[in-house]
Amino acid sequence: MFKGFGVRLALGATVAVLSAGMLAACGGGEQVEKFVPTRIVSFGDENSAIVDINGDRNGAKYNVNALKAPATTGGVSTTLDCLTNPVWNEYVATSFSLVFPECNPNAVATTSRNLSALNARASGTSNSVQAQIDTFLSTDSFNEKTLVTVMAGHWDVRAQYDAVAAGTTSADAAVANVEAAGSALAEQVNRIAALGGKVLISTIPDVGTMPFGIAQETASPGRAALLTQLTNRFNAKLRVGLINDGTKIGLVLGDEAVSANVKAAGVTFADVTRAACDPIAAPTLLQCTTNTLLKDATGTVIASGDSWLWSDAEHLSAGGQRLVGNLAASRAVGNPF
């Protein structure tokens, strides 16, 4: 017994010496520096976009836009408050005290950029993620202090679904095409990482469970299942294509977070099937505000941009954006970039 104990002591001493040598070689055992980006750059579709319509750094989102308090008691405000009801990548930015220029009413110094665009796909179109990155690289570059967010794929799924619905392609071909799109987006994320940027990439919510998918299912049973299949195959190919070693790319499972809340209807979100925005009062989602929410037949507002999951038929509400945003911010802070 004592002989074995002596061997263990000797082994422990050897490990201690080796550990000390390794720590010395790494700079004397200093703690690894925590990742703190100096700017954030976003690519993707409108789920990440901020549109500075009036050129006043108080941009609108494809979301339920918040409004500033009215100037007089009982008055109705129409002035945007872009700092309230952020989109998911703004939650990430805020966790590092960063802002995007399109939502910067306090004129904070910033070099962050948001190239996300309406209806953007992974690749193959003029405003695709690939094209956005090309545009960025024509005048700018990534470095180890650049945090990049990416979310796209919804419109790749919709394009293939629409083709099936129109009878111009088969379901099998549509699946193959969304898989190719997922792989193409992974290539672009890997491209950013290879050029020195740190990337947060989010999977996309299940289109089959959106109000759009529910309406399609009502009109033609089986369509929601197809939308879900297309979404899942896109996300699967995206995930498997990433060089996801944790040091350059952080994966945000936005699809799982949203699906869990759809299944747990009534727990976090009071409504997970309807759009909060009234399409008559707000013909486009950029026009949707807390003043244009869905009303009942008596004119009473029944919807909420915070406790309803969807803003319109295909976009997350302010509460849905918060769900994904908080998940992404936690991933960014905790990821060993």
Query: For the domain that residue 103 is a member of, what is the CATH number?
Result: 3.40.50.1110
CA distance 47 to 89: 9
* Domain match, 196 and 237 both: yes
Instruction: Clarify whether residues 8 and 96 are in a common domain.
Output: no
Same-domain check for residues 120 and 60: yes
Do 120 and 243 lie in one domain? The reply is: yes
Q: Are 61 and 11 contained in the same domain?
A: no
Query: Which range marks the domain in which residue 308 is found?
Result: 38-334
pLDDT of 17 = 37
Q: Is residue 25 predicted with pLDDT exceeding 60? A: no
Residue range 244-250: average pLDDT?
87
Q: Are residues 26 and 43 in the same domain?
A: no
- The reply to whether 154 and 107 lie within a common domain is yes
Give residue 125's pLDDT: 96
Side-chain-side CA neighbours of 225 within 13 Å: the count stands at 4
Backbone angles phi, psi at 79, to 5 degrees: -90, 125
* Lowest model confidence (mean pLDDT) among 73-77, 86-90, 135-139, 291-295: 73-77
Confidence of residue 21 (pLDDT cuts 50, 70, 90): very low
Query: Among residues 81, 35, 37, 29, which one has the least CA distance to residue 58?
Result: 81
- Same domain (yes/no): 43, 27: no
Helix axes 318-334, 254-263, angle to 10 degrees: 140
Residues 23 and 98 placed together within one structural domain of the fold: no
Do residue 98 and residue 183 come from a single domain? yes
Mean pLDDT of the chain: 90
Band (pLDDT 50/70/90 cuts) for residue 69 is confident
Residue 90: is its pLDDT beyond 70? yes
Same domain? For 62 and 185 the reply is yes
Q: What's the pLDDT score for residue 8? A: 38
If one counts the domains in the chain, the total is 2
How does DSSP assign 127-152, residue by residue? TSHHHHHHHHHTT----TTEEEEEE-
